[in-house]
Structure 1
Amino acid sequence: MIKKLFCAALLCLSTSSWAVDIQPNNLFPKVEMNTTMGKIVVELDRDRAPITVDNFLTYVVKGEYDNTIFHRIIPEFVVQGGGLDPKLQEKPEMKPIVNESGNGLSNMTGTIAMARDSEPHSATRQFYFNVADNERLDPSSRRWGYAVFGEVIQGQEVLMKMSQVKTETNTVLEWPDVPVEPIILKSAKLLPRE
């Protein structure tokens, strides 16, 4: 009996260790996102946004972004996702993180950043891609900004195609800018170190 419990404990430990292997010593990890419109690869910047990158990768490695939708698309502004399943149900969130918007990275075309509420330290799992230069989302001396934590290194054309889909106000969510045809993030995976 003790031997079985010991083996079970080891199995749990090894499984949980794997589940949170977010390449902590890799300053520029890469994540591949397979969507219904094509593949996007992002390179993250742990040097400038360590808390944000670790948070995002924890969701990635646990499979929490798989089969979520891009629920907010505004042409020449942003493509946002990561928080809802295809039935428009909110996914579970971890604890909110500290806002790292003052890290020197700007909300320029092709960057990935954390979505949040009006409270500056409220980001959890939702992210967005900038599909225009959105410096107004950067911090200033009078306001917190939105934390950029990486950039698209492959699939920029996929992102731009996504930004042009037809949207409408969704009657379930009562949100504008929801794609008429759902765009699904089928999987997000941390790529092996090069």
Structure 2
Amino acid sequence: MKTFAYLDIQIGTRDVGRIVIELDFEKAPKACDNFLQLCETNDYKDTCFHRVIKNFMIQGGDTDHKIMRHDEYPPVGLGKGGRSIYPSNLFDDENLRAIDEPFLVCMSNKGTVNSNSSQFFINTLASPHLTGKHTVFGKVRHGKSVVREIERVSVMSTKNSDSEAWIPVKEEMVLIVNCGKWNDGDPVPCYNACYDSLGGDIYEEYPDDNEVEGLDLENPEMTYKISTVIKESASLLLKEKRLRDAFLKYKKALRYCNELIPDQDTNPEYHKKFLNLKKTIYLNLALVALQMNDYKTTIDYCGYLLEMDKDVPMTQTQTSKTFYRLGMAYRGLKNFEVALEFLQKASFLSPNDQGIKSELSVVQKLVEDEKKSVRQRFAKFFD
């Protein structure tokens, strides 16, 4: 029977989600007992990930330096403490297997053999140079996107010689806010991704993190289909009015497009297909952001579309939708004159669209009312 532990993660003041770790009791019983008990007794609660190196690893588990007040972060000596469950504190190495894949959970040590305590790390990239130096006792089974977000936080310094090297900045402090044993069927809360498989999306948040049998990320036909499946999954979520989930899923589809698009010289056909898919995703991201009243994000995505239009022309309908969404976003920001300009452009391209006509009429009146109000205010100075 498999055994799992979990860590609930907060970055800054924002909940990010849960990391679920499968423990390998058969090959590393001491390390697994240690980690599970430290989770179940809340020893890891209120500790932080104090060493974050992108494209390498994230390290935590210093149980001697809990973060009880944000204004005292980072505490003096952070990263130098920690205690195991064993009377002698330090315990022996086990399972010194190859660290040849990401998301392995390993014991950190003091640089000598048999010097494990409570600190651990999760590698985010195959790290063969660490093989034989660290006990490997588990693997991340859920919450890879949480690990990836931790990996991307800003750090105080990237110079190993600095005392605060690789420690996340205070605004992005990575805190373990809860921990314990996880059982099959328990929830895996996640706030930075949508794991709903609606529409057949069985893929990880980041392409390289997939373990799907037969998946070939070098095959543009296959990766284009996958990106389309993810986009369609987002559209199904949008139809269900699950706006936040749809937004996260569209962002995932965009990530796949950006990372998997083939070079134009080697595969012009699929390069163009990916670009056209990317335009659709930008349009949908702008739409969902608008529906969430996130007007600045709407403007950003519309801006990306117009920038793309220089190289990959949009259809007239796509351009009209872009102008319409810009108009509605500026209306939401109460910048009515700019809103009017974009709605007029949208109306010119889609003269029979009743929705655009209706909004254009509303914004025209808002502009007139605003001008009238300004005239009345200035008139008082000449009375």
Q: Distance in 2 between matches of 1:92 and 1:106?
A: 23
The structure that is helix-richer by fraction is: 2
Q: Is the 8 A contact 1:81 1:126 kept in 2?
A: yes
Q: Which amino acid aligns with 1:153?
A: R
- Over 3 Å counting, the alpha-carbon distance change for 1:92 and 1:110 in structure 2 is closer
How far apart are 1:107 and its partner, in Å? Answer: 5.2
Q: Distance in 2 between matches of 1:165 and 1:177?
A: 10
Higher-Rg structure is 2
Q: Distance in 1 between matches of 2:95 and 2:61?
A: 19
Alignment match of 2:40 (pick from 61, 65, 69): 61
What do the CA deviations read for 1:64-106 (whole angstroms, capped 9, x no partner)? 001110000000001001113224366651311101143x463
User: Residue 71 of structure 1 aligns with which residue?
Assistant: 50
User: Residue 164 of structure 1 aligns with which residue?
Assistant: 152
The equivalences for 1:67-106 within 5 A come to 67-83=46-62, 84-86=65-67, 87=73, 88=75, 93-94=83-84, 95-102=89-96, 104=97, 106=99
Q: Is the 8 A contact 1:105 1:149 kept in 2?
A: no
TM-score (norm 2): 0.39
Return 5+ residue gaps in structure 2 as ranges: 11-15, 68-72, 186-383
How far apart are 1:191 and its partner, in Å? Answer: 1.9
Q: Which amino acid aligns with 2:174?
A: I
Q: Is the 8 A contact 2:41 2:180 kept in 1?
A: no
Q: Distance in 1 between matches of 2:25 and 2:100?
A: 16
User: Residue 21 of structure 1 aligns with which residue?
Assistant: none
Return 5+ residue gaps in structure 1 as ranges: 1-25, 140-144
Alignment match of 2:138 (pick from 137, 145, 150): 150
What do the CA deviations read for 1:103-124 (whole angstroms, capped 9, x no partner)? x463520111001111111110
Residue 124 in structure 1 maps to residue 117 in structure 2: yes
What do the CA deviations read for 1:15-41 (whole angstroms, capped 9, x no partner)? xxxxxxxxxxx5x31112110122111
User: Residue 7 of structure 1 aligns with which residue?
Assistant: none
User: Residue 50 of structure 1 aligns with which residue?
Assistant: 29
Query: Aligned residue pairs: how many?
Result: 160
What do the CA deviations read for 1:36-69 (whole angstroms, capped 9, x no partner)? 1221111110011111101111211211001110
Aligned-residue CA RMSD (Å)? 2.1
The structure that is strand-richer by fraction is: 1
